[in-house]
A and B are shown apart, each in its own frame.
Chain A
Amino acid sequence: DAGVIQSPRHEVTEMGQEVTLRCKPISGHNSLFWYRQTMMRGLELLIYFNNNVPIDDSGMPEDRFSAKMPNASFSTLKIQPSEPRDSAVYFCASSTGNEAFFGQGTRLTVV
């Protein structure tokens, strides 16, 4: 297995634009997590899915953020409209219930 695959690796966008981050979890993993990493706040859990169903989205900062998991092999995290303070590295991780395996992350810069 290639591991958790995220795209794009880097994204630079202008304030106000819509941004969509993509994730392909490891096949067979039934839990998927979206994390955000910044210098100030470290690794924060935004939302997680179990069997494609959102279980806990209490970490989603505001309504500008949304996440979907239409099937077991794909998830998106969307920010609209994006703001400079959304600049961070966004990680997707998947799990079968114990340790989570992380993707390489998407480095988002909003200018």
Chain B
Amino acid sequence: GESVGLHLPTLSVQEGDNSIINCAYSNSASDYFIWYKQESGKGPQFIIDIRSNMDKRQGQRVTVLLNKTVKHLSLQIAATQPGDSAVYFCAEKKGNNRLAFGKGNQVVVIP
């Protein structure tokens, strides 16, 4: 596989169960947040985004929750499938259009 952290927090989830991945961000002035999925050997892929004027946003099988009070972001995956096994990164948009990425969370789906 590609260079992702060997010591990433890992979530093992049974196929069909729901997954919740958490992320803390640093800058209270950040106004845009994204979740990315990275499979082995590939670049990060956009999953879902949310602006700071929202608390929740839903996509297909995914929901992002934003708690600005505690600077916390979470990604919920419904009915987790084997294809959801990957590393998930949260990213916050800082000044000058920069995206700063978190360290990542490994999700392992058990068939």
From DSSP, what is the main secondary structure of chain A's interface residues? Answer: strand
Q: Which of B24-61 contact A (CB under 8 A)?
A: 32, 34, 36, 41-46, 49
Interface residues of A in 44-75 (CB under 8 A from B): 45, 48, 50, 55-56
Decide yes or no: A42 and B98 within 8 Å by CB, A88-B3, A98-B49, A105-B43 being known contacts.
no
The answer to whether the Cβ of B4 comes within 8 Å of any Cβ in the partner chain is: yes
Q: Pick the most buried of A35, A48, A99, A101: most chain B CB atoms within 10 A of its CB.
A: A99
Question: Chain B: which residue is nearest A107 at the CB level?
Answer: B2
Known contacts A42-B103, A48-B97, A48-B98: A99-B46 contact under CB 8 Å: yes
- With the chains together, A35 CA to B2 CA distance in Å? 14
The reply on A111 being an interface residue by CB < 8 A is no
Interface residues of B in 81-111 (CB under 8 A from A): 89, 93, 96-104
A43 and B5 contact, Cβ closer than 8 Å, known pairs A48-B97, A95-B97, A97-B97: no
Q: Flag if B44 contacts A89 (CB, 8 Å).
A: no
- A7: interface (CB < 8 Å): no
Interface residues of chain A, those whose CB is within 8 Å of chain B, are 4, 31, 33, 35, 37-40, 42-43, 45, 48, 50, 55-56, 88-89, 91, 93, 95, 97-105, 107
